[in-house]
A and B are shown apart, each in its own frame.
Chain A
């Protein structure tokens, strides 16, 4: 089962995200801060496939810290960042640092939860293909070595 980490400092938001992603059939773990997320990621094995994190928690750019930790732990973990409207600068920065995508939480008339479910699906897909590519490369290298 695909493993997913949801990071947000607001209980209601965390619950809502978990409930929606549970419905998609993922194995969802939650954390309420960047620090907790780091702890959870270090003890988790195998590592999370996708991390969904809020941008603004303890710090206005805590999401960037979560992103950095996730990638440091497993280069293939895909990270989706949730941002507040108008905080485009941080969103762009997270893309530059290798996030899968970012989503604005409050876009009038857009059901972000549906959109998120879709994006998580795509992120899972990318991770799978990246992992399998690496595996094929490893197999190839192993065969060459023999």
Chain B
């Protein structure tokens, strides 16, 4: 017992020293298990509780809480407490914290991202009193990898000047463990969501339900206020809203605007992601079709949905403006990468679904073509026989004495003749449709072809005016001239028939510039002639722009409704593109992009 009798050579007593060592050991043990747990745990709530308990022990505090920044509002929310007196004060604290911006110590730390210590709360400019016995307080931020505040650990003590530099260092180490755990949790959530999206995309072939699922699942992978998917409609070259979560829901399938227009339109045109904090500062911003009002949008991110060789659409997300000053609602590089990942999976899925659809359609067309060729042949033969009977009937009628009865019979025969003629018109339309894709190509002069078609198809006497604007320098085009003439005359006859009260038909042609080729999203490495047949008739409603090209769609009494589908078939057999780009009320505008070689 000699040692105890000797005067202490150091300022600290052995008891204090022992206590210090014991605490250091305890701290290292705590820290060790926290880090081990941080990379393993999926239970973030329990982990954060243990983090806080370890923090309170490490700095010998009386009580403490851990608050996290809320994902959407940016407000601090208490998620764990340690020590006494919380049941009574927890809720009150929550309310206070929500209002605490830079006023309270927690808010101050969240804002500055620096730790804060006070040894005398009564003289502290930031301290807000919740407990009567508090003398000292220490607060440590938990930071994300981006340097932004994810949360704050706050511990108090009834002792004055309770916390020193060691406490600060210990708490910083524990906060680091919490930061790692939260980061890993974020990665896990994103990974799981991306895998889930991948699974869904590869198992869904119906495009619109696929879109809806993606938008729902993207919410797990990336934080946003709203998310929308636009796909480019091949027919009109317009962006069409396919799925969304919030305010635009009633516009799904309807909303459309041209590729190149606005920020979203420019993503669709150039295939580059756009990330902006204040959309209104962007010159391309039009503010049409948004999920939030311009004033509410805090951040905007749009990425292209690509297939192997072209842009299919745009996936975009928006965030609301944050109301907490330490909270940034900007989209980060990681957000952009996550979105690009989702978009590329989506692109592959859309392409997959489309090629499946094309395959089904091709098979159906082949079966249908076979069936219709056979039936057209049989019907044609019977009709031919019928014509023979009719010919005989007319011969016999001519032999009858001229009287009322003969007139009646002749009228019936004439009506039958018209019926047969009508039947043969239908047969012709039918066969044109079936053979639309069988080309016999040769070099042709497009302008000469247009002039001759206009000459042949335009009615000699009509109150519809014909205007031709044929461009210079169009090289010869390899095409099936006969079929193309058939297609063009259909368009011209259509234009005339929709303007019974008179009007105008404008036919124009020119070589397409490379810039226009990009805007129209036509295949690269090809030159195109642009042929337009426009009129001043009623035009085509947006919702019909696709339907008018489908077989058997017709708004007229005449014909089977195969006309425009034949035109489309002929143009597409030439590897060309046919679109209707007019506006309702201003007239129809059919545009053919014809490659110089099919």
- Interface residues of chain A, those whose CB is within 8 Å of chain B, are 10, 12-13, 15-17, 19-20, 23, 56, 82, 84-86, 105-109, 111-114
Whether B360 sits at the interface, judged by CB under 8 Å, is: no
Interchain CB contact under 8 A, A106 and B385: no
Give the interface segment out of B419-427, B465-473, B513-521: B419-427
CB-CB contacts of B427-449 with A at 8 A, as 1s and 0s?
A: 11001101100000000000000
Given contacts A13-B381, A84-B377, A85-B427, contact A109 B395 (CB under 8 A): no
CB within 8 Å of A: which B368-423 residues:
376-377, 380-385, 387-389, 391-392, 395, 421-422
Q: Which residues of B contact A19 (CB under 8 A)?
A: 388, 392
Closest 3 CB pairs of A and B: A16-B388, A12-B385, A113-B391
Taking a contact as CB atoms closer than 8 A, the residue among A13, A56, A108, A109 that contacts B388 in the complex is A13
Taking a contact as CB atoms closer than 8 A, the residue among A10, A20, A86, A109 that contacts B391 in the complex is A20
- Chain B residue at minimum C-beta to C-beta distance from A111: B391
Interchain CB contact under 8 A, A12 and B382: yes
Given contacts A10-B381, A84-B380, contact A114 B391 (CB under 8 A): yes
| Interchain nearest-CB distance for B573 vs A (Å) | 15
CA distance A104 to B432 in the complex (A): 15
Q: Which residues of B contact A85 (CB under 8 A)?
A: 380, 427-428, 431
Interchain CB contact under 8 A, B389 and A56: no
Interchain CB contact under 8 A, A113 and B377: no
| 16 A-B pairs whose Cβ atoms sit less than 8 Å apart in the complex | A10-B382, A12-B382, A12-B388, A13-B385, A15-B388, A16-B389, A82-B384, A84-B381, A85-B380, A106-B383, A106-B427, A106-B428, A107-B424, A111-B387, A113-B388, A114-B391
Interchain CB contact under 8 A, B380 and A106: yes
Q: Which residues of A contact B422 (CB under 8 A)?
A: 108
Grouping DSSP codes into helix (H, G, I), strand (E, B) and loop, the B interface class, with mixed when no group exceeds half, is helix
Q: Which residues of A contact B383 (CB under 8 A)?
A: 105-106
CA distance A13 to B379 in the complex (A): 12
Q: Which residues of B contact A13 (CB under 8 A)?
A: 381, 384-385, 388
CA distance A111 to B428 in the complex (A): 16
Interface centre among B391, B428, B435 (most CB of A within 10 A): B391
Taking a contact as CB atoms closer than 8 A, the residue among A16, A23, A114 that contacts B385 in the complex is A16
- Chain B residue at minimum C-beta to C-beta distance from A117: B391
| Interchain nearest-CB distance for B481 vs A (Å) | 14
Q: Which residues of A contact B382 (CB under 8 A)?
A: 10, 12
| Interchain nearest-CB distance for A92 vs B (Å) | 11
CA distance A86 to B482 in the complex (A): 12
Beyond A10-B385, A111-B391: 13 further Cβ-contacts under 8 Å?
A12-B382, A12-B385, A12-B388, A16-B384, A16-B389, A19-B392, A23-B395, A85-B428, A105-B383, A106-B424, A106-B428, A113-B387, A113-B391
CA distance A13 to B382 in the complex (A): 7
| Interchain nearest-CB distance for B402 vs A (Å) | 21
Q: Which residues of B contact A109 (CB under 8 A)?
A: 421, 424
CA distance A29 to B392 in the complex (A): 19
- Chain A residue at minimum C-beta to C-beta distance from B376: A84
CA distance A25 to B395 in the complex (A): 15
| Interchain nearest-CB distance for B285 vs A (Å) | 54
Taking a contact as CB atoms closer than 8 A, the residue among B377, B385, B424 that contacts A15 in the complex is B385
Q: Which residues of A contact B388 (CB under 8 A)?
A: 12-13, 15-17, 19-20, 113
CB-CB contacts of B276-296 with A at 8 A, as 1s and 0s?
A: 000000000000000000000
| Interchain nearest-CB distance for B489 vs A (Å) | 15
Q: Which residues of A contact B376 (CB under 8 A)?
A: 84
Interchain CB contact under 8 A, B391 and A105: no
Interchain CB contact under 8 A, A20 and B392: yes
- Chain A residue at minimum C-beta to C-beta distance from B385: A12
Interface centre among B380, B384, B424, B427 (most CB of A within 10 A): B384
Interchain CB contact under 8 A, B428 and A105: no
| Interchain nearest-CB distance for B581 vs A (Å) | 32
CA distance A16 to B384 in the complex (A): 9
Q: Which residues of A contact B424 (CB under 8 A)?
A: 106-109
CA distance A56 to B377 in the complex (A): 9
| Interchain nearest-CB distance for A46 vs B (Å) | 28
CA distance A22 to B533 in the complex (A): 51
CA distance A107 to B385 in the complex (A): 13
CA distance A82 to B385 in the complex (A): 12
Interchain CB contact under 8 A, A112 and B384: yes
CA distance A64 to B421 in the complex (A): 28
Q: Which residues of A contact B434 (CB under 8 A)?
A: 86
Interchain CB contact under 8 A, B428 and A108: yes
Q: Which residues of A contact B421 (CB under 8 A)?
A: 108-109
Q: Which residues of B contact A23 (CB under 8 A)?
A: 392, 395
CA distance A107 to B431 in the complex (A): 12
Interchain CB contact under 8 A, B428 and A16: no
Q: Which residues of B contact A12 (CB under 8 A)?
A: 382, 385, 388
Q: Which residues of A contact B431 (CB under 8 A)?
A: 84-86
Given contacts A12-B385, A105-B381, A109-B421, contact A86 B392 (CB under 8 A): no
| Interchain nearest-CB distance for A73 vs B (Å) | 27
- Chain A residue at minimum C-beta to C-beta distance from B391: A113
| Interchain nearest-CB distance for A55 vs B (Å) | 10
| Interchain nearest-CB distance for A90 vs B (Å) | 13
CA distance A84 to B373 in the complex (A): 11
CA distance A113 to B424 in the complex (A): 15
Q: Which residues of A contact B391 (CB under 8 A)?
A: 16, 20, 111, 113-114
- Chain A residue at minimum C-beta to C-beta distance from B379: A106
Q: Which residues of A contact B425 (CB under 8 A)?
A: 108
Q: Which residues of A contact B377 (CB under 8 A)?
A: 56, 84
CA distance A13 to B385 in the complex (A): 4
CA distance A10 to B382 in the complex (A): 8
CA distance A108 to B385 in the complex (A): 14
- Chain A residue at minimum C-beta to C-beta distance from B392: A19
CB within 8 Å of A: which B131-164 residues:
none
CA distance A82 to B389 in the complex (A): 17
Q: Which residues of B contact A105 (CB under 8 A)?
A: 380-381, 383-384
CA distance A19 to B390 in the complex (A): 12
CA distance A10 to B387 in the complex (A): 14
CA distance A15 to B381 in the complex (A): 12
Q: Which residues of B contact A106 (CB under 8 A)?
A: 380, 383-384, 424, 427-428
Q: Which residues of A contact B384 (CB under 8 A)?
A: 13, 16, 82, 105-106, 112
